[in-house]
Structure 1
Amino acid sequence: MAVWVVGLATYLLAVFHRSSLAVAGLVAAQRFDIGAGALATFTMVQLLVYAGMQIPVGLLVDRYGPKAVLMTGAAVLTLAQSGFALAESYPEALAARVFVGMGDAMTFICVLRLVNTWFAPRRIPIITQLTGVVGQSGAILAAIPMTYGLAHLGWTRTYLISASLGIVMCVGLAVLVHDAPGVRRTIGPAMSLSAIRTSLAASWRHPGTRLGFWMHFSTQFSATTLSLLWGYPFFVRGEHVSSATAGVLLTIMVLAVMSAGPVLGWRITVQPWHRSTLVLAIIAAIVTVWTVVLAWPGDAPLWLLVVLVVVCGVGGPASMIGFDMGRTSNPPDRLASATGIINQGGFLASLVLVVAIGLVLDARTPGDSTAYTAGAFRWAMSLQYLLWAVGLVQIWRYRRRTRAMILRHDPDLSLFRAGQHITS
């Protein structure tokens, strides 16, 4: 349990650092003398690096073990936040956020590997969901102390203090975390480029890995897009609610994420065969509510917007069901790399949607980026249907192939229900 707690605390701190700029936008714009576009680039670059690092990090975990990679990630985050604290120019600050994205990318996969090693197979789904829920609370925890620090301590001291927490995490990881019960460090075999390609190809070739990827792709992007950038302007400009109400709606979405995680973890533990069915049902709910909101004549009522953020929030922990699919589809020696493949899905979809929404809004409201209309937002948010269509077709394809493979190798499903992987 101590191993998981320390790993979880490290992941929570990574999310804290990832989200620390959310309440510092105005201060950052003033400090670096930048506009909204350059400010948004901080977040976009950070997330692009995070998504791009998933497969390399997975390979590093398979080779050197989760403890070594997790400590490296904590150290990189500490140095990156320190650099961000001391940056005097926009290029220096942007470089620091690149390394924040790198350090962040080294945490979640490692913690999932520890969960898969230290807990019994039947407990892994719910522990995985708890990991995601508690870790994502770092975004909430970042808001109040960072706001207070920036107001009373200034930019440099606030970010240096937050960076110093990483030193504590590094000490805890070094002292308390072992890669496996009775084993302080696990070292995988050295892999040539051809061996790496073979390993990744084997992970991707398994239909369960692809199913996990498309599950993650289809369930996460709606909530991530709302919380990352476009939720607040959509509610204020598109649905004409007050700024305070928009903030409450986004908070409700975070609470939905935290509440749904343990429930979904328990559900897939009880009925693992129906994991994809549960994901399909959640996607159908998200699509249905978005359709009602976008088709509503005039502004949608507040109760409907509450339903929207709740169902979108449930999509966050639903995306983590994809990791459980990867767990039962890959042997331990390539589990981290398979997790990295799956973890790219939702972030790639989110980044595509975030950029596409901005392009459509600019096209529908030329000449005035501050005057986005409700009609423009309806066009922009309708882009989600393209991503859902692709994701649903792929989920349906690979669900059939994964189930057929499981039944070929485990006709009575006894091994499958016990949580063991089916890889061939």
Structure 2
Amino acid sequence: MNLLFANDRRGEYPKSWYAETAAPFERFAPLKGATRADVCIVGGGYTGLSAALHLAERGFDVALLEAHRVGFGASGRNGGQVGSGQRLEQDALERMAGRDAARALWDLSEEAKALVRDLIAAHGMSLTFHPGIVHACRTQAEVDHARAHAEMLARDYSYDAVEPLDRDGLREILPSEAYVGGDIDRGAGHVHPLNFAIGLAKAAAAAGVRIHEGAHVHHIEKGSKAVVQTGEGRVECDHVILACNGYLGGLDGQVASRVMPINNFIVATEPLGARAAEVLRENVAVADTRFVVNYWRLSEDGRLLFGGGESYGYRFPDIVKTVRKPMLQVYPGLRDVRITHAWGGTLAITVNRMPYFARVAPNVLSASGYSGHGVAMATMAGKILAEAVAGQAERFDLMARLPARRFPGGAGLRWPLLVLAMSWYSMRDRLGI
């Protein structure tokens, strides 16, 4: 079974609050027949759209192929959080890659946040960047760690936007009994994720990129002149960029063995009105410290958008049941509130939770596996891929040098082994370990 078609209607966005409030735009035509491009990009999420835009601005002739609609995958379904840093914290990165590389990775992540804000402003996109992400801790040990990490960022990275919060400080923002403290990062923020993807697509098209929706790539013939084949057309090109994330399928085994698709879920409540103050007292986003993270924010029309729960097969479970349980553990007072939207999506993780950048052939590049930290980093990845195609590969090589272990079992057996591991961590979450 192909994840591209397992849970969704072909060529349609899921029935999410994001799709319901998406900025209007015309559907891009599918690919028909043969064409030629300098660069062919497979995947119309943040990575592919950002790469396309940045390549077009450098003068490249670019064709982008998306099996469904732009922003169809994780880019149009996620929690919208534009986080600081990488998925791993800086102390872990220092241990993994050394102080110099950790500093370079931090600088990249800061540029990534700025890039999101700059693109929104430069192209007049139909969304707003709202500052602030709260990290909610369940134990005092986690609170102590959050404080130490904030001190490290201020001392070693000159980043003083993170404010530690004790129990009372947290509850002034987040009135829930489920947490004992945490921090708030005023330099991070949140956006409407699908409208950001649509904004990138409009900007890329205006720059000359030929975007084709409904163009399902099923084969890539590698060589000095690569050929990217869909059911109804083909693109001959000098360079290929794989920007498929969790929807790669069998297009490349090297990437597939290191990048694992998993499913995550979000619900939207009815507008809360004055009761929104029972959820959040500032317009910030939240992520907690569970291994299977709960994350949430208020929408522009006052709904609670709450994400939680994961699955590791092809088919989605009962989403309302899956997400309502952790939502009520955080906010038991919302038991009477109606759920109006529920949707799932497929993202991709790596073993070390860092993005996987790879040159899978001399003229075929790939970036994916953002592990839930992709709004800013996937957008930045697109810019880095464009640089590499243009011959400036320093930042691509920085990312590609990071350790990238295969999942046990490779592409074939990774799912059952992952289910066993995730079941263990889910049990630890339930026990509060």
The question of a shared fold, defined as TM-score above 0.5 by the shorter chain, is answered with: no
Higher relative strand content: 2
Higher relative helix content: 1
Q: TM-score, normalised by structure 1?
A: 0.25
Q: TM-score, normalised by structure 2?
A: 0.25
